[in-house]
Amino acid sequence: MVFNTGAALLDAIVLAVVSKEPEGTYGYKITQDVRQIIDLSESTLYPVLRRLQKDDCLEVYDRECAGRNRRYYKVTSRGWAQLQLYESEWRSYSKKVTSLFGGKG
């Protein structure tokens, strides 16, 4: 993609991906799911996860998997509110950009 993905859009995409799993999901799966949408490295993803955790948008817990601990991320109530805001802002923003291109798309 030729467009830069800013911090707010990254946060919105990660929250949306994590929100699809009611019990939470783990970092590698989040990376794979986000890569379906945008090109993203793990070195970019983990700072986003930490920022969302610090902002109380994600809670983190460990779960054993094949004899090892796997870190899971789950959307908090604050995260759900933030995701709703992002969705609303995105709809407004994308509608305006689409109208600039003559409504095509």
> How do the domains of the chain map onto residue ranges?
7-99
Q: What is the pLDDT along the chain (105 residues), one digit of tens a residue?
A: 667 778 899 999 999 999 999 899 999 999 999 999 988 888 889 999 999 999 999 999 998 888 899 999 999 999 999 999 999 999 999 999 999 998 665
For the domain covering 7-99, report its CATH number.
Answer: 1.10.10.10
**Coil, helix or strand for 69?**
strand
Q: How many CB atoms are located within 10 Å of the residue 29 CB?
A: 15
pTM above 0.85, yes or no: yes
CA gyration radius for the chain?
A: 15
| 3 state SS of 65 | strand
- 43: its two tokens: 């070195």
Question: Cβ contacts of residue 91 below 8 Å, gap of 6+?
Answer: none
24 in helix, strand or coil? coil
